[in-house]
Amino acid sequence: MKDITSVILFQIDKTSKIAKQYSQREFDKLNLGITVDQWVLLKIIEESTELSQKELADKSSRDPASITRTLDILGKKQLTERIAIPNNRRKYTIQLTQTGLDFIHKNIDIISQHRRKSLEGFTIKEQNLLHEMLLKIQKNMT
C-alpha cells in the first residue's frame, strides 16, 4: 500500500489548501476585507450574465446554503445585489454593484500575481498539460 502522500488526489487537495491559505494571508495583509471564497464568487458573478443563485452554486461547486450566507455577507459589504426576476418570487439574478465591480478592477492585479506565483517554473506547455489533466480527473469523478 502506498503512503497517503503519494496519492494524487491527496496532493491536489493539499495544494488547493496551501494556495487558499497563501492567498488569504495576502488578502489579510492588504486588508481587502474579504475571503478567498468571497473573491471567487465575485469573479464568477463578474464573468457571467443573468446568473441565478443556483447557477452560482453550480459554477463554484459550493452548496446553495453556503452561497446564500456568502451572498448575504457580500450584500452587506455592498459588493453584490440580488435582482428579483419578474413573475418569479423565489428566484433572483445575482449582480455586482458598481462598488463590487470597482473592487474587482482595483484588486485583479493582486490575484493575477498570486496566480503567476503558483505557476513559477512551469512552461506554457506544462501549464496546459496540467490543466488538461485536472479536467480529466474532474470528468472521471463526475
The confidence score (pLDDT) of residue 88 equals: 77
pLDDT tens for each residue of 44-54: 999 998 899 99
Q: What is the pLDDT of residue 1?
A: 58
Q: List helix spans (H) across the chain.
A: 8-29, 36-47, 53-60, 64-76, 98-118, 124-141
List pLDDT tens digits, range 62-108: 999 999 999 999 999 999 999 988 887 778 899 999 999 999 999 99
Q: Which pLDDT score, from 0 to 100, does residue 84 have?
A: 87
Q: What topology is assigned to 34-141 in CATH?
A: Arc Repressor Mutant, subunit A (1.10.10)
pTM: 0.88
CB-based contacts of 65, cutoff 8 Å, min separation 6: none
Return the SS3 of 124.
helix
